[in-house]
Amino acid sequence: MPHALNVRIGTHRLALPLSGDQVAAEPGPVTALPHGRPLLLGLTTVQGRALPLLDISSLLPGAQPQEEGALTLPPLLVLTDLDGERVALGVDEVLGVSVIAPPQASTALLTNLSGVGGVGGALLLNLPVLASELRASLSLT
């Protein structure tokens, strides 16, 4: 059975599929980028490495857009691989690790995990779809 890292972003509980390479860290300075918002907050430096900082909250149900020019930083980061690249996901809290049912192939960004593996009410984040969302947000066409 696969495992997931459970996090809280705002009022939402998310389960991130564990691949063994996730690390929690405190955010460093962030350099905003001219394109890519709201998903891409900018670049942050963690352990001497520049990483894209993603704001998953902008994709969640009921998301409120941030004011133009305002940059609200998350209290924690989860470093993970996204489509072969290291990224930082902004989160409010790390809740622990749980066992989840093997996810079914889906094109949805979020899948409801109610009652599965002790993560009732959590949403499973589909990382390949998140990578597609990031590419689309960076498209300048």
pTM of the model: 0.83
Of the candidates 54, 75, 57, the one whose C-alpha atom is nearest the C-alpha of residue 66 is 57
Structural domain span for residue 101: 3-138
**CATH number of the domain that residue 30 is part of:** 2.40.50.180
Of the candidates 128, 133, 54, 50, the one whose C-alpha atom is nearest the C-alpha of residue 91 is 54
Using a 10 angstrom Cβ sphere, with 0-12 exposed, 13-18 middle and 19 or more buried, the burial of residue 13 is middle
Using a 10 angstrom Cβ sphere, with 0-12 exposed, 13-18 middle and 19 or more buried, the burial of residue 135 is exposed
> pLDDT tens digit string along 88-117?
999 999 999 888 877 778 888 888 875 445
Tokens 């902008």 appear where? 58
Furthest-apart CA atoms within the chain: distance in Å: 43
pLDDT at 134: 84
Q: How many domains does the chain have?
A: 1
> pLDDT tens digit string along 29-43?
888 877 666 888 889
